[in-house]
Amino acid sequence: MNLRPTLLVASLAFALSACGERADDRQTAATPDTPPAAVPPAGEGTGGTGMGAGPADTMVHGDAPANAASAQAPADHKALLSVLEVDRHEIAAAQAALSKGVGDRARAYAEMLRSDHERSMKATQALLDGNRGTAGAPPQDAASDDPALVAERRQHDTERQRLEGLDGEAFEAAWIDAMVKGHQAALDKLDRELIPQAGAGEVRSHLERTRETIAGHLEQAQALQKPAGG
């Protein structure tokens, strides 16, 4: 029996089998089991610039109106406290003039100051009491510690103490001059600061009425600087 054809066939089959296994190994190496990294959708992840609005966008745009609204309440509160200080000073100054026994014209003016500013003080205090419940408004005691308000009060107290040391015609002349300067300063502050910065409508209306009263007081004080019948 001739074994050569049989051995030849077997050799060829073995060779083909070995080639197939090597091809399978190469294909397996070329296609690893690890899947590719997932790509996040646009707008997700830190620092994303997609069209979707994240929590940061919502917080920034949503909080702005609330902050702007609450920022007005302290300004209104401070304006009312400033007007209240003017009322307090003018009432005390009027009382000082009446106690010094000034002349008829100055006495009539002092009585008018006291009456007008007592009425204004009640209206101002009513607005302050109502604003205590406003969101963002500080307590009245805390707002009265504002450096500008403290300085204003000290200036008023110092002015009255200076006048207290005078008597007779010297007091009356100096007192009238002080009324002109004081009412002019209050009018300037209302025009430059308090009225333009007012937020609430009722506060602005009160400040505008206060301005009309103080402007009238200033005009009459200026008239008192002139001699009677002049």
Q: Which pTM value belongs to this model? A: 0.64
Report residue 31: phi and psi, to 5°.
-125, 85
71-83 b/e with 16+ CB inside 10 Å = b?
A: ebbbbbbbbbbbb
- Give the pLDDT of residue 169: 96
Q: Which CATH class is domain 72-224?
A: mainly alpha
Report residue 87: phi and psi, to 5°.
-60, -45
- Give the pLDDT of residue 93: 97
Q: How far apart are CA 101 and CA 107, in angstroms?
A: 8
- Give the pLDDT of residue 131: 57
Q: How far apart are CA 80 and CA 204, in angstroms?
A: 10
Question: For the purposes of burial, counting CB atoms within 10 Å of the CB of 142, is it exposed (0-12), middle (13-18) or buried (19 or more)?
Answer: exposed
Q: How far apart are CA 78 and CA 88, in angstroms?
A: 15
CA dihedral (147, 151, 157, 162) in degrees, to 10, reads 160
Helix (H) or strand (E) holding 83: helix 55-99
**What is the maximum alpha-carbon separation in the chain?**
162
Block means of pLDDT (10 residues each) for the chain, 230 residues, are 48 49 48 45 41 36 36 78 96 97 97 97 91 44 72 94 96 98 97 94 96 98 86
Beta-carbon contacts of 105 under 8 Å, excluding residues fewer than 6 positions away, are 224, 228
Task: State pLDDT tens for residues 65-118.
Answer: 333 333 336 889 999 999 999 999 999 999 999 999 999 999 999 999 999 999
Task: State pLDDT tens for residues 202-211.
Answer: 999 999 999 9
Domain regions of the chain by residue span: 72-224
Q: How far apart are CA 197 and CA 80, in angstroms?
A: 12
